[in-house]
Amino acid sequence: MKANYLVLGGKGKTGRKVVERLRQLNQNLRIGSRSETPSFDWENPETWANALEGMDRVYITFQPDLAVPGALEAIEGFIKIAKQKQIKKVVLLSGKGEREAELCEQVIINSGIDHTIVRASWFNQNFSESFFLDPILAGHVALPQAEAKVPYVDTNDIADVVVEALMNDAHNGEIYELTGPRFLTFQQVVNEIAQATGRDIAFTPISLPAYTKMMEDFGVPADYVWLINYLFSEVLGNKANEVITHDIEKVLGRKPKDFSEYATETAATGIWNQEVEV
């Protein structure tokens, strides 16, 4: 029998790819988004029950991140309604090495609902779909924590793991930590993108306070400034997070996508060769 799937953040970096895969598998699904009917909005709890109505399994992504203030209370409220609606299974996208996110995980682990926790390292796609894109287009990337080594993971690999976990109860109760196959510093990332695009892209290490001021000067919303500060200080600055796992291979039976493959594929789309608006 087919299940009914609710994909929260179904138009986001991982959610839209989960939606694509479920559609390819001819599953019944509902996209959880403010622009859908029924709508879903994390900031409006009154939308949660209607979005959950008639659903069996849910992929949970929280915007902008499970680490932000208010996320824990939102997850607690959502899971309470999910239990009332007799949701059978949830898969939570969590952050690797984020203590605050782990508090949200515990809400789900202790909920009595079948679940799988997917902790992901930083996404490859942060450099093509998120806050690192603009400086790459400008040809000058300035970031703190220059020596931090990150095992970037591809959102396609995340989506494949999520769909497998949603559909296969053999993954119930598991916590998977998803990483790419190797570490890269920001300088190495910029070098790989420059090589893939044939462009000159400079990298400059800066302090976190300087980066914070730069974001504020560019009008970045305060909650995102807080989140970036948290991620650069607590996650990237934590040597304990410099770990490569083999959970993608364990779940999917294949190795994760390497950053160089992502860079080559993404360069071919032209996203990194756009004209910069002045």
Q: Stretch 248-273: mean pLDDT, rounded?
A: 98
pLDDT in tens, 194-213: 999 999 999 999 999 999 99
Q: What angle do CA 40, 216, 139 make, to 5 degrees?
A: 95
- 3: amino acid identity, one letter: A
Q: What is the pLDDT of residue 1?
A: 66
CATH number of the domain that residue 91 is part of: 3.40.50.720
Whether residue 131 lies inside any domain: the answer is no
Task: State whether the Cα torsion 73-74-79-84 is positive or negative.
Answer: positive
State in Å, rounded, how far the first CA of the chain is from the last one: 54
pLDDT in tens, 147-164: 999 999 999 999 999 999
pLDDT at 277 over 80: no
Q: What angle do CA 256, 234, 65 make, to 5 degrees?
A: 65
Whether residue 223 lies inside any domain: the answer is no
In the chain, the number of structural domains is: 1
Whether residue 160 lies inside any domain: the answer is yes
Q: What residues make up the domain containing 9?
A: 4-123+153-179+241-256
Q: Stretch 45-50: mean pLDDT, rounded?
A: 98
pLDDT in tens, 112-132: 999 999 999 999 999 999 889
- Proportion of the chain above pLDDT 90, given as a percent: 90
Whether residue 233 lies inside any domain: the answer is no
Q: Stretch 37-53: mean pLDDT, rounded?
A: 98
Q: Stretch 135-145: mean pLDDT, rounded?
A: 96
Whether residue 158 lies inside any domain: the answer is yes
- 124: amino acid identity, one letter: N
Whether residue 198 lies inside any domain: the answer is no
Query: Whole-model pTM?
Result: 0.96
The answer to whether residues 6 and 29 touch, using CB atoms and an 8 Å cutoff, is yes
Whether residue 235 lies inside any domain: the answer is no
